[in-house]
Chains A and B, each alone.
Chain A
Amino acid sequence: MMEKVKLIYEGKAKRVYSTTEEDKFIIEFKDTATAFDGLKKAEITGKGEANCFISSKIFELLTIKGVKNHYIKRLSERDMLVRSVKIFPIEVIIRNRVAGSMAKRLGLEEGKVLEKPVLEFCYKSDELHDPMINEDHILALGLAKEEELSTIKEMSLETNRILIEFFKKCNLDLVDMKFEFGKDSEGDIYLADEISPDTCRLWELGTTMSWDKDRFRRDLGDVEEAYREVKERVMNTPIESNARILIRLKPSILDAQGSVILNALKSLGYSEVLEVRVGKLLELKLDRKIDEPERIEKMCKELLANPVMENYEWEWVE
């Protein structure tokens, strides 16, 4: 079990700890909620737990769909193990309907459907109160490189597409959401932070009834129930996924079948073939209401592969 070593960052809703492994952090979700740049503050019982579960499930869905993100696994009801990444000081906001600051700033009616998703960027700076900036500002301030920015935009749009569909299955309308991105030591970009009712506006499908942090911001009541409800719906919505498991004889074991095939290929004139190893490919279709990422590992260890003779690897496939 991975353990927290040192608190390295404490935000409004989360604590981030270093672990015994340099490339991994633990995020702890708190019950504290703030709004309006910290002017409004409260404890919402169960929020941390709800957000931890919701984020875990959504990050898993995104992994299955091929969106790189920092999630590794959920460790407990409030703790999530993630890849340690360096966060870009940019908040990405993606909007499908007009709401919140966009309605106020542009004098538009809340709830108006946007023909295509609108991307906004804010510069993460407490001093400056997270001002809105554009792509040129990002490059001018050196907050991200041009190709990094274009990856971030692509990943944001893709995540939005996936989550609109997913939340629809939860009978929720994804109005807008906020992302943070980070990069690892190799320069690979990962979706980071959390995805929860604290970072998304979620309305009951077909209405303007809010199930997200707006219940707290706007004193709409039943705040605790709302987090619980979203958690219930998210956890009960199946993610259909496919895993592909490849089982191979260990390299130390002579693969007789492989040698016969090698000889057959050679006799057909394919002299460039040097070695043939035959393995087994298993395709699993899963209905994953359970968010335990190690379950496929367990399946391999318990039944699918024989550890004495075989190695296995697996991946999610579309």
Chain B
Amino acid sequence: MNFGIVVFPGTNCDRDCYYVIKDILNQPVKFIWHKENDLRGVDCVVLPGGFSYGDYLRSGAIARFSPIMTSVREFADKGGLVIGICNGFQILTEAGLLPGALGRNIGLRFICKYVNLIIERNDTPFTSEFKKGEIVRMPIAHNEGNYYIDDLSKIEKQIVLRYYGENPNGALDNIAGIVNERGNVFGLMPHPERCSEKILGSEDGLRIFKSIVRAL
């Protein structure tokens, strides 16, 4: 299982993801600079969190034109696994690889805290280590996590994670993470890489990476 972590200017969760994949899961992983376009040998692309291009214009709006994104699109079209975390999720929606958009948090504040999430689907390559309906804890850290789509009915079956209990950012239908129709592209606002070791308060995040390893 080879992971490729895409690094944009302003990405800042790339090393956390690298650490989890390499040091905790012992899987081969490399960084891929956004100007590259070669994804050969990669089984799963990670678009990590951060502030690509300073979040200028809209979060993810400019990163999606980086050369690597053309390759990521082709990779996803061929069925390759893509996970976008936080800013990575925003980039995937801007690129049209996932439906909808992420607007400003309803409270207008940057929110950094643990939230409860409910696993709505465990039949995806990203969530097979969970039980359906299970409540898990992961941290969020974002200013634009307010998920929006015109017609919710179009994506109802694609919802993988929902905020449980409290909705921190105003996201429509409590949506915290979705997959594409085919199920091989996953975007989520919570940061699984920040809760992959007991010492950090939760290991729920690790199960997402474990699911991916298991899928391949």
Contact = CB atoms under 8 A, between A and B. Distances in A.
B202 to A, nearest CB: 29
A257 B103 CA distance: 11
Interface string B76-104: 00000000000000000110000011011
Contact of B108 (A252, A256, A308): A256
B150 A303 contact: no
Contacts, number: 33
Nearest to B146: A256
User: Contact residue range for chain B?
Assistant: 10 to 19
B57 A253 contact: no
A308 B106 CA distance: 17
B58 A306 contact: yes
A309 B58 CA distance: 11
A107 to B, nearest CB: 65
B148 A309 contact: yes
B107 interface: yes
B155 to A, nearest CB: 12
Contact of B101 (A252, A303, A309): A309
A262 interface: no
Given A303-B57, A306-B101, A256 B148 contact: no
A247 B206 CA distance: 40
B215 interface: no
Interface string A296-318: 00000001101011000000000
A308 B100 contact: yes
B104 A257 contact: yes
A171 B76 CA distance: 55
Contacts of A254: 106, 170
16 contacts: A252-B150, A254-B170, A256-B105, A256-B106, A256-B107, A256-B108, A260-B108, A303-B57, A303-B61, A303-B65, A306-B101, A308-B93, A308-B100, A308-B101, A308-B148, A309-B103
